[in-house]
Amino acid sequence: MNILTLNCWSHTINYRLFNWEEKTVLASGTVERVALDGSFITQTAAGRENYCLEVECPDHCCAISNITSMLTDPQHGVLNDAKQITAVGHRVAHGGEKFNRSVVVDDHILDDIRQLRHLAPLHNAPNISGIEAALEFLPDIPHVLIFDTAFHLTMPEFAYIYPLPYEWYQKYGVRRYGFHGPSHLYLSRRFAALTNKPAAECNLITIHIDKGVSLCAIRKGESIDTSMGMTPLEGAVMDTRSGDIDPGITAFVMQELNLSAQEMEAVLNQKSGISGITGRHINRRQLLNAAMDGDYRAKLALEIESYRLRKYIGAYLAAVGPLDGIVFTSGTGETEWFARELVLTGLECLGILLDQEKNRAVLPDSREAKISAANSPITTYVIHSDEELVFAEDVAAILSESYHNHTDCNYTFTRPDFVPLLSAV
DSSP state of 354: B
Q: Specify the CATH class of 195-383 in words.
A: alpha beta
What CATH number should be reported for the domain whose range is 2-147+387-414?
3.30.420.40
- Residue 333 belongs to what H/E stretch? helix 330-335
Amino acid at site 161:
I
Distances 11 to 156, 283, 297 between C-alpha atoms, Å = 35, 18, 30
Q: Where are the domains of the chain?
A: 2-147+387-414, 195-383
Of 153, 107, 132, 102, the residue nearest 8 (C-alpha): 132
Q: How far apart are the first and last CA of the chain?
A: 18
Strand partners, 27: 17, 45
Residues constituting the chain: 425
Using DSSP, state whether 322 is helix, strand or coil. Answer: coil
Which three-class secondary structure state does DSSP give residue 265?
helix
Give ∠ CA 360-363-366 in degrees, rounded to 5.
125
Give backbone dihedrals phi and psi of 36, rounded to 5 degrees, phi first.
-125, 165
Number of C-beta neighbours around residue 171 at 10 A: 9
Residue 35: which residues within 8 A CB-CB, separation 6 or more?
Answer: 10, 11, 57, 58, 59, 60
Q: Is residue 412 helix, strand or coil?
A: helix
The residues that are catalytic are 148
Tens digits of pLDDT across the chain (425 residues): 999 999 998 899 999 999 999 999 999 999 999 999 999 999 999 889 999 999 999 999 999 999 999 999 999 999 999 999 999 999 999 999 999 999 999 999 999 999 988 888 778 899 999 999 999 999 999 999 999 999 999 999 999 999 999 999 999 999 999 999 999 999 999 999 999 999 999 999 999 999 999 999 999 999 999 999 999 999 999 999 999 999 999 999 999 999 999 999 999 999 999 999 999 988 899 999 999 999 999 999 999 999 999 999 999 999 999 999 999 999 899 999 999 999 999 999 999 999 999 999 998 778 899 999 999 999 999 999 999 999 999 999 999 998 888 888 889 999 888 988 765 44
